[in-house]
């Protein structure tokens, strides 16, 4: 048992996150997302966290992962089909969690653009989230000991 590790992160999830490098993406997706097919096509690691919601998984991941501060955006959510300005409940929770973690707000991507970017992810974490649009992509940043 390790201290200070969010308990919902399984050994597979921890290994996947620890294996990521700067610029790698992790997709935290809902139960409806075609995670198995996307991972099979792209060769991404797939980790199941069926007992967690997507916001719970995001909160746990943000405790361990620094987002990319060099890229214009380091987090993306999926736009609502037919209403790109709508903010689903899960996305509102994502925004609050990113703010609490001191991260920039997430940008939005059209549905198929989100799928395409998810296919390039290093790691896909599928949750048991049943609300629509409970999907977010994160780009890993750098942890550094120097001041610059």
Q: What mean pLDDT is reported for the chain? A: 95
Of 47, 62, 45, 146, nearest in space to 96 by CA? 62
Q: What is the DSSP letter of 122?
A: S
93 phi, psi to nearest 5 deg = -65, -40
Task: Provide the terminal-to-terminal Cα distance of the chain, rounded to the nearest Å.
Answer: 35
Percent of the chain with pLDDT over 90: 93
What is the pTM (predicted TM-score) of this model? 0.95
- Helices (DSSP H) in the chain: which residue ranges? 11-19, 35-42, 54-62, 89-100, 111-119
Do residues 101 and 62 make contact, with C-beta atoms less than 8 angstroms apart? yes
Residues annotated as catalytic are: 22, 68, 115
Domains and CATH numbers, the chain: 22-139 (3.40.1650.10)
């Amino acid at each position: 048992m390790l201290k200070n590790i969010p308990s919902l992160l399984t050994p597979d999830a921890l290994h996947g996150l620890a294996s990521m490098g700067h610029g790698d993406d992790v997709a935290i997706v809902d139960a409806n997302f075609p995670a198995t097919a996307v991972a099979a096509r792209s060769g991404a690691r797939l980790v199941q966290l069926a007992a967690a919601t997507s916001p719970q998984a995001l909160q746990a991941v943000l405790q361990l992962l620094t987002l990319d501060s060099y890229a214009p955006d380091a987090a993306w959510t999926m736009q609502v089909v037919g209403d790109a300005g709508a903010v689903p409940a899960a996305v509102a929770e994502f925004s609050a969690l990113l703010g609490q973690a001191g991260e920039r707000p997430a940008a939005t991507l059209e549905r198929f653009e989100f799928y395409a970017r998810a296919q390039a992810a290093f790691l896909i974490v599928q949750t048991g989230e049943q609300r629509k649009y409970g999907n977010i992509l994160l780009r890993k940043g750098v942890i550094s000991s120097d001041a610059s």
